[in-house]
Amino acid sequence: MGKQKLTGEIFYPSSDIMLRARVNDWDEIRAKAEVNPEEFWAKEAGELHWFEPWTKILDESKKPFYQWFVGGKTNIAYNCLDRHMNTAHRNKLALLWEGEKGEFRSFSYFALRRETCKFANVLRSLGVQKGDRVTLYMGRIPELVIGMLACARIGAVHSVVYGGFTVEALHERLEDSHSKILIVADGSYQRGKIVPLKAIADEALQRAASVESVLVVKRTGEPVNMEPGRDMWFHELMTLPIASTQCTIEKVDAEDPLFLLYTSGTTGKPKAILHTHGGYMVGTYSTFKYVFDIREEDRYWCAADPGWITGHSYIVYGPLLNGATSFMYEGAPTYPFPNRWWQMIERYGLNILYTAPTAIRGLMRFGEAWPNRHDLSSLRLLGSVGEPINPEAWKWYHRVIGKGRCPIMDTWWQTETGMFMITPTPVVPLKPGSGTRPFPGLKMDIVNEEGKPVGINEEGFLVITTPWPAMMRTIYKDPERYVNQYWTKFPGVYLTGDSAKRDEDGYYWVIGRVDDVIKVSGYRLGTAEIESALGSHPAVAEAAAIGLPHEVKGNAIYSYVILKTGIEKSDKLIEELRQHVSHEMGPIAKPEHIEFVDSLPKTRSGKIMRRVLKARALGQEPKDIMTLEE
Ligand code: WT7
């Protein structure tokens, strides 16, 4: 690195990091992959197991429905577990887990494979077949990982619903995916309290008809309602003869679906992003390997939730494909005290911490004394994801947690991309707040309204101009929406929904969403969903939601509500509406602030102008109100 002189404030990697890095000349790999991306990906794919080789690396004939490793037969669960059985990884720790109450569990690769095989047999005995959808709704516990891998092993399609969502969010996802099986925990621990997941699921199930069997994982031991003929205990099923450790693997096509993951879009209901076995496997394997520069002896921790793409790709699949040791923690970062994370890093000697800016900002508030009480010298690398990281938080993370030694991998990507897209590696000079440049084999750009590349340091739409292996394949059951949402504004080019700038060194600076998606504490929520949750309350005639800057959360939700005639405005009603959203969607969607209004700014075609609401709330003059109706 370092032929040209970089501009701005730069953090160069230490000689120690440089000397021990897997790849020193990252520019060379990027340059080679730019000439022939397919060759780069094929080489990465070749490091994994294929039952039958692919005949074509990339098939563009049905674009934008791209296909990768066409004709290849593989299975991601085989590559995560079985592939390691005849190597030194067999007895290596695959998963370390700490519960919020302090319990500890661990699984070697051998043990994780055994549990997965047993559970895969249970699923098969319940009639789950290749292609069937299975919904999982749990906290951060090992059974979630086992459940995901068991589905993958038999070619079933998992749909994980974040344990922080509630009744309507779960119902919608069960119904849209038409899941026959729901795997749910009795409850989960969050900040010392129990979240009654099974009770929430029971309410959602009253609204969803497709579910035939509910498998209940005992986590809290609190009494739950067990519906005869429908509900079964996971631990009981796992002792039956049917739960044998012998389980034939489904040799799937590279393009067979692996999972659905619902995420918020610009309009309407959440959409199910579909990922496949082959390309997703290659993308997560390769990005995890290079970006976290993973070593045999590493203990790696991604503090995200498996219910989001970060957890799918970088708690479960990426690490296991690489034979890494992945640590998972169930609870809240500040429970019982704000040193919980630092205590676990010290206790388990964790080497890599990957988390979100909102978590860093939240922990920053408690001051340096908490981390300083702990030995954090095992840390070698840090990571950030979910939203732009403000330089202040970046520097605190770098100085206080990384002691100035640990480079921060600021990774930009999306549920849709499946894998890191803009990211450094440990040898890349860093600028706080920039994810540096695209990963090898990717072509990205920043364009204006006409689709023309913008100049240096000019803001524009962030787009991806060539396909990549871990890209989403479609929106489940809605290919048209896939085309319209991502490939239509600029034909043939993937629209990310973010705005960004590129500086004189080619470094990307992602600014934020340009659509009606709000990032609250790194969680992605659609204004339409929040509005529809508010609208489902009997007192509400109409509602609008916007995101406003918030010191810790990044953005906070503000809502404007028009009440039905005759309904009286009161603080009590505001609280009731906030609780209603929390009950229907989840606590993360609960508006920070609700204001009653008599009208909402709309375009002539009747669309709410959230920009205008936002400008007003920020005390600014709204721009472009030509289309405003009233
Ligand atoms: C959106 C995708 C992909 C993992 C978690 C979020 C924002 C994500 C960064 C980053 C700036 C980021 C973007 C993106 N985002 N990472 N490093 N810097 N912004 O996945 O829920 O699908 O959200 O998160 O706005 O579009 P997601």
> In this structure, which residue's CA is closest to atom 21 in ligand 1?
524
Nearest CA to ligand 1 atom 27: 414
Question: Bridge partners of 74?
Answer: 252
Give, using CA atoms, the residue closest to atom 1 of ligand 1: 414
CA of 385 from ligand 1 middle (Å) equals 6
Residue nearest to atom 18 of ligand 1 (CA): 388
Q: How confident is the model at residue 128, as a pLDDT?
A: 98
Label residue 592 exposed, middle or buried (CB < 10 Å: 0-12, 13-18, 19+). middle
Tell whether the model's pLDDT for residue 249 goes beyond 50.
yes
Please, what is the angle between helix 197-207 and helix 167-177, to 10°? 50
**Ligand 1 probe mutation, 310, 314, 519, most atoms within 8 A of CB:** 519
Atom of ligand 1 nearest to the CA of 510: 11
Distance of CA 170 to the CA centre of its chain: 17
pLDDT reading at 110 higher than 80 = yes
CA dist 2 and 13 (Å) reads: 11
Q: Is the pLDDT of residue 4 over 80?
A: no
Tell whether the model's pLDDT for residue 2 goes beyond 70.
no
Average pLDDT, stretch 49-78?
98
State in Å: Cα 8 to ligand 1 middle: 24
Cα of 242 vs centre of ligand 1, distance in Å, is 42
Cα gap 141→131, rounded to integer Å:
25
* Six-digit token string for 132: 């069937």
**629 — pLDDT class (breaks 50, 70, 90):** low
Query: CA torsion 566→572→578→582, rounded to 10°?
Result: -110
Residue with CA at minimum distance from ligand 1 atom 2 = 414
| Tens-place pLDDT, residues 396-423 | 999 999 999 999 999 999 999 999 999 9
Cis peptide, bond prior to residue 37, ω within 30 of zero: no
Residue 52 DSSP code = B
Token pair belonging to 401: 């947690």
Rounded Cα–Cα distance for residues 188 and 197 (Å) = 7
| Look-up of token digits 């404007």 | 560
Which is it for the CA torsion 587, 588, 589, 593, positive or negative?
positive
Q: Rounded distance, CA 442 to CA 74, Å?
A: 24
Local structure of residue 12 (DSSP, 8 states): P
Q: pLDDT of 144-183, one tens digit each?
A: 999 999 999 999 999 999 999 999 999 999 999 999 999 9
Residue whose CB lies within 8 A of the most ligand 1 atoms, among 312, 315, 414, for a mutation test: 414
Q: Coil, strand or helix: which one is 555?
A: strand
Give per-residue burial for 102-127: e unless 16+ CB within 10 Å, then b.
eeeebbbbbbbbbbbbbbbbbbbebe
Contact yes or no for 346/377 (Cβ under 8 A): no
Report the separation in Å between the CA atom of 173 and the middle of ligand 1, taken as the mean of its atom positions. 21
DSSP state of 331: S
Give the mean model confidence (pLDDT) for residues 18-47: 96
Residue nearest to atom 5 of ligand 1 (CA): 386
Radius of gyration for the alpha carbons in the chain, expressed in angstroms and rounded? 24
pLDDT higher than 50, residue 1: no
Q: Is 383 in the pocket of ligand 1 (CB under 6 A)?
A: no
25 CA from centroid of ligand 1 (Å): 27
Q: Give residues with Cβ within 8 angstroms of 256, minimum separation 6.
A: 130, 131, 155, 276, 277
Is the CB–ligand 1 distance for residue 418 below 6 Å?
no
Average pLDDT over residues 263-270: 83
Interval between CA 437 and ligand 1 midpoint (Å): 15
Average pLDDT over residues 460-482: 97
Q: Which of 510, 521, 553 is the best mutation target for the ligand 1 pocket, counting ligand atoms within 8 Å of the beta carbon and taking the most?
A: 510
Q: From 439, 413, 434, select the one nearest 26 (Cα to Cα).
A: 439
Q: How far is the CA of 387 from the centre of ligand 1 (A)?
A: 5
Answer yes or no: is the C-beta of 326 below 6 A from any ligand 1 atom.
Answer: no
Task: Tell me if 271 CB under 6 Å of ligand 1.
Answer: no
* Closest atom of ligand 1 to CA, residue 416: 22
Lowest mean pLDDT of 263-277, 320-334, 478-492, name the range: 263-277
Pocket test for ligand 1, best of 271, 287, 358, 385 (most atoms within 8 A of CB): 385
Atom of ligand 1 at shortest range from CA of 413:
3
305 lines ligand 1 (CB under 6 A): no
Q: Is 390 in the pocket of ligand 1 (CB under 6 A)?
A: no
Determine how many CB atoms are found less than 10 A away from the CB of residue 600.
17
Ligand 1 atom closest to the Cα of residue 417 is 3
Q: 388 in ligand 1 pocket by Cβ < 6 Å?
A: yes
Atom nearest to 512 CA in ligand 1: 25
The Å distance, Cα 244 to ligand 1 centre, comes to 40
For residue 340, give the nearest of 370, 317, 319 by alpha carbon: 370
List the residue whose alpha carbon is closest to atom 17 of ligand 1.
Answer: 412
Question: What confidence tier does 209 reach under pLDDT thresholds 50, 70, 90?
Answer: confident
Rounded CA separation 625/142 (Å): 52
3-state secondary structure 341-398: HHHHHHHHCCCEEEECHHHHHHHHCCCCHHHHCCCCCCCCEEEECCCCCCHHHHHHHH
- Going by alpha carbons, the residue nearest to atom 8 of ligand 1 is 386
Residue tagged 């949750």 (tokens): 533
Q: Ligand 1 in contact with 302 (CB < 6 A)?
A: no
Q: Tell whether ligand 1 has an atom less than 6 A from the beta carbon of residue 411.
A: yes
Question: Is 84 a residue whose pLDDT tops 80?
Answer: yes
In the reported structure, the alpha carbon of residue 356 is separated from the centroid of ligand 1 by a whole-number distance in angstroms of 10
Tokens of 597: 């209004």
Q: Is 436 a pocket residue for ligand 1 (Cβ < 6 Å)?
A: no
Between CA 72 and CA 51 the distance in angstroms is 8
